[in-house]
Amino acid sequence: MLLISRIRENHEEIIERLKTRGLDMSEIVNNILTVDANARRTRNEMESAQAESNQLAAQIGKLIKEGKKDEAESIKNRTSELKTSVKELSEKVQGLENQLKELLYTIPNTPNVSVPRGKSADDNKEVKKVGEPKQLTQKLPHWELAAKYGIIDFDLGVKLTGAGFPVYRGKGARLQRALIQFFLDEGYKNGYTEVQPPLMVNEASGYGTGQLPDKEGQMYHVGVEDLYLIPTAEVPITNMYRDVILKEGDLPVKNCGYTPCFRREAGSYGAHVRGLNRLHQFDKVEIVQIVKPEDSYGVLEDMSDYVQSLLDKLGLHYRVLLLCGGDMGFTSAKTYDMEVWSPAQEMWLECSSVSNFETFQTNRLKCRFKNEQGKTELAHSLNGSALALPRIVAAILETYQTENGIVVPEVLRSYTGFDIID
């Protein structure tokens, strides 16, 4: 949620920035300004009525103590008048403030100045490409390799649960576990504190990171207990800092965590969801940072570099995209996507997304810190996948396939305990 104070001060600039997303929000922004002015004026009226009423109530108390009952009674008439007008005004204020909130919820984050204009993925800017597409003598897609070596069983998952819930077995399961461990160890080496959060969250957490109210349909809902299965570790890990005032010395907060992620992915179908490309349950290691505002863009680059270092170590061909305004998430001010090359499908697969949310999340979360002047100030929040497993597994299987089997990348061997899947 954008800060109302920022809209008051810089509404022209905000409208301009939002054009980067291909949106014209001028009408809504102007609407907000009117409603806000209205709400403030009404609130002022209400507060002065309350102030008078409070004062009179204090007087009455005093008079009663002094035994001047008659005087007290005469003042009571005036306070009951005030009481009704306070009630009316407060209802009006509440109405206006709700209206304001509704309007604010509809405005996405303002893209940073470095974000390119654009409407769709076609307008994303490739900022880096590392490696070359692997030249393969055999070129089987990962789902065929998975079947050939018996490491991932999609049909069995359908039997147990449904499409999008694969069963990993044998070396497939070990490879999964190796990747998770590798990513967590790398995170630890880079100063991230590991967290094992709950896999279900309550409604308040859903609102905190913005999954609720609009993206309700994306999450699995456990009705009996009214809880949601997490779509990403970002939800519980970021919500740890909901309603928290950090000390300046606590920043930067650097957390990483492995969790399974659950996504309904309603409406997805077709060839691009084949195999591991899109699942309802998948594993991911997430990194989250809470930082001082002036540091957040430097940290975004650090996090992006860190994610790239993982892909480098795995020896995969990848590229880094700076997302254009139209392709960025609602809450992000700047996002880099990392896409890994799938040599058999001959397409790029998104495997990480690193974003700076500035105060968009922390405003709703009320995640603040006390700055040097002793003032509480909203922190900036960032997160990124480091990394999401399925597409990495797909890329590894396809990239390292040989006639003799799939060669395990060097860095994983101490974790897997084997160097070839055959």
Give me the residues that bind RNA (CB under 7 A), please. Answer: 4-5, 40, 43-44, 46-48, 50-51, 53-58, 60-61, 64, 76, 79-80, 83, 245, 368, 370, 376
CB nearer RNA, residue 242 or residue 370: 370
CB of 6 to RNA, least distance (A): 11
- CA distances, 122 to each of 16, 209, 356 (Å): 22, 28, 21
Burial class (CB in 10 A: 0-12, 13-18, 19+), 236: buried
- Determine the 3-state secondary structure of 94 from DSSP: helix
CB of 116 to RNA, least distance (A): 32
CB nearer RNA, residue 52 or residue 312: 52
CB of 83 to RNA, least distance (A): 5
Residue 420 tokens, joined: 């070839």
Contact partners, residue 398, CB within 8 Å, separation at least 6: 136, 139, 140, 141, 142, 145, 342, 343, 344, 345
CB of 7 to RNA, least distance (A): 11
CB of 80 to RNA, least distance (A): 5
Contact partners, residue 377, CB within 8 Å, separation at least 6: 293, 368, 369, 370, 371
CB nearer RNA, residue 19 or residue 366: 366
Q: What is the DSSP letter of 265?
A: -
- Determine the 3-state secondary structure of 420 from DSSP: strand
Tell me how far apart the alpha carbons of residues 165 and 273 are, in angstroms, rounded to a whole number: 12
CB nearer RNA, residue 47 or residue 153: 47
73 within 8 A of 124, measured Cβ to Cβ: no
CB of 217 to RNA, least distance (A): 23
Tell me how far apart the alpha carbons of residues 387 and 151 are, in angstroms, rounded to a whole number: 20
CB nearer RNA, residue 4 or residue 310: 4
CB nearer RNA, residue 79 or residue 218: 79
CB of 54 to RNA, least distance (A): 4
352 within 8 A of 304, measured Cβ to Cβ: no
CB nearer RNA, residue 98 or residue 114: 98
Residues in the chain, total: 422
